[in-house]
Structure 1
Amino acid sequence: MKRYYYVLIIIFCFILVGCNSDAEEESYVNSNESNEIESEEGGESENETGASDEEKTDDTTNASEENFFSDLPQTPNSIEELLSLPPGKFAGKTYEEQQEEIEEVLDQFPVSEEEISDEEAEKYWLKLVGLFAEEYPNPQDVLEQWGGYSINPPEIDGEEISFKENYNVEIILDASGSMANYQGDQTRMELAKEAIMDYAKELPEEANVGLRIYGFEGSNADSDKKVSCSSNELVYGIKPFNEKELSEVMDDFGPTGWTPLAEAIAAAKSDLAEFDGENNTNIIYIVSDGIETCDGNPVEEAKSLADSNITPVVNVIGFNLDHEGQKQLKEVAEAAKGTYKDVQNRNQLQDEFQKAAKIASEWRLWRAHAMGDARMENVDRANMMRDFRAEWADRYRNERHSLSEAIKYLQYEIDALSLDAALKIGDFRDERTNKLHEWKAQAWDDLSEVKDKDYEDAVDEIQGKYKDNASDDN
């Protein structure tokens, strides 16, 4: 009986436990259902709030992107526009030299869409240009660094000298009896012949030389005046110097007669008539030890000579003249718009002859130096142009490298650029590189044109001065 009682108690306990479990389960289910209902009831408010936050986030993102792309540089369409724009923040150094700083800036780039419009791609591109655009050298700076061409005529004794490439010399030598007088251990005629020969040897190879002798026949007696005054001859015609021929000619005559100076000056004008002064340097030396004795007017003939188209440079050399003789020959020189010099010995005579040779030598030397200087200036300018071109190429190579590295970082390292965006930005990069090539070539061509023209002008001026230099008086 007692055992039966215990069994009933145990069964009752199981029933109670089961009832409690069902109640708790129902309570838990009811609680969850209540929570779900509350959640559903409040869901509309949460979704509404969530949508508002998303819109706010989108607005903030758009505003941030607009601000990020607010300072884009202009796209240059000419070399002038390119040079007017400021360089990028990271210009002047390689990407690797400032990589950490660069990538801190690149990390701020907004993430592009998978497909991006050309306009949006251009924004990314211009932002990169603003970071990496190099400062390119200005061709105007190259022009300003160029030196000038120095084409100043040569000077002798502080005065500019005149000379034309076609060079003709005529020596008018007095062979009157007084030239037989001794000057030291030689006669005046011997000294004059030696000085003439030494002078002729120093003339330019292309020069022509002529020798006119007057008063070399008869004697200085009254009975021989007519024949002596008629002796006036171009014994060595205006032609290139031949030492043997000129020496033999001078050996054929000696001092003997009168002094037909006026007739000799008049004849010299005819001797040189074919050599106009516009294209020729015509030099006349008159060597005499006395005044006109054949009734001519040497001053009038000298004036006529100076006014002729041969426009000669007249040098009158008085050989140990007295006062009256010096006075007349100075007047001859003045009328001929030339110079007068009285000499006492061979050295002085040679010095006077050498002046003209020195003029020719100075001009030849000047032309050689001027042409050399012009060539050096042209070479210097070409070297500056090459430096300019090399600097320009270094700049755009560095710029392209930095841009390429930045695009790769944005695309592969931080996934800020989609493939579409990277390709379009790469197209912008290639377009800029092509323009930089074109502008470099344009600058080179412009500089070359100026350089070549300046050099040609300088050479023409040098040659012109060498060939055509002559004073206005001549």
Structure 2
Amino acid sequence: MKRNNNKFALALIGCLMLAACSDKPEPEVKSEVTVAADEGKTKPVAADEQIPKAARTIEEMIAQPAGKLVEAHMDPEIEAARTVNWVYYHRFYEDTFKGIMEKELPTYLEEHPDLSADEIYDYLVYQLGSGQYSTFYDPLTAYAHGYVMPELPEGEDEIEIAKRQQTNVVILMDASGSMKAEIGGESRMSLAKQAIEEFTSQLPEDVNVSLFAYGHKGAGTEADKQLSCSSIDELYPLGAYNADSFATAMDSFQASGWTPLAGAMEKAHEYLSSYDKEQYRNIVYIVSDGVETCDGNPVAAAKQLHDSEIEAKVNIIGFDVDDEGQNQLKTVAEAGGGEYATVRNPSEFEGVIIKKWKPSMMQVMSQQGVKLHELVHQKEALIAIHDPLSNLSEREKTRITNAVAELKKKKLIDDEKANEVTEIAKEMGELRSAHFSEIKEQKSEEATKAKDEIDAKVEAWKEKWSSELEKDEK
């Protein structure tokens, strides 16, 4: 019998060596050649070695270390291979690992012929158990679907939202020479003033307003650059809106010089410094038609204004601005925690600064809840965590039941003990699999519930705005 076994081993080694020379790529697994070369690395179980009690609860099984033979001879990636790659594990197990089990396991049973079924199970887990459960179990229990409710604006503008808190509105008016340019027969400055006066006239009584003009002195020449860049003046002190007083302030300046955009924001910061965010909502509106021309850093000034204790929000309305100006002003608004809008005519200006925000019909129709690719990703991500975990459990159970069959075949355990050990292995496998499936189902239900809630809110929002826009069209 030994001679035949030796012939079989030599034949198998020869086949594996031929396979190694093949051009076809193979998964990187340990072969019998490797096992033979590394034979000394598997320390046999000593006759007097104390075999630890095998895990019998979910908590214990999650924390159990890898079996000695599994740890020594099985690559973790092979053991946990997903179902779609089942051949990786199957081929290694059938071609290599079963032979290792058949060689290594009998010795301890031969030296301990009177072990109980529980003790045999303990020994087999000690040799064949998986030690990877926690690697996948922890991500499974921590799994989050990742669905996020999209932003669904409700049509309120800055001022309506601000009614809930004492509000300060500071308007910084660009009065540089470029604001003299005409649109439809009127200067940018004239059109901007008209829109701002209408805007301020609609403010609630308890909202404080202030007006500053900047760059309104000098003639835009190099000789008067310093004068112009330092001209940032309060023309309407912070307080309740008064139509006559505000109109007088608006009439007191005209488009003239350079553009100290950064300096204007620094002035607003200083001006609002006593109005902290806990008690006041501070909003800065900048009306400008171009970039900084006074060598300041408007992005840094906007960020400092927004990040300060007053936490002012910087909104910028770019009036008929070229591409270079739009890029800078948009960056400044983002740094100031606000929004940038560009307008090219009076009606657009009115819509940006006065009217409530309303979506277009295209925005309403195209708005979605949880998108298909998000749903697919969520399901794939959950399966990718659960699948290896389920396979580890099933493969541990199969290794143990196959080992029992081999030990029974070699008459090292009788039929009764073989049946008892097999039942224990199956019971533990079912306990693990049921627990893992329960968590997966729970996570799946949480994702479905979140998806349904998001979809329902989006649909309600779409119905509301569809009705609103249809009324406007009529």
What TM-score results when the alignment is normalised by the length of structure 1?
0.41
If asked which structure has higher relative contact order (CA below 8 Å, sep 6+), I would say: 1
Name the larger-Rg structure. 1
What TM-score results when the alignment is normalised by the length of structure 2?
0.41
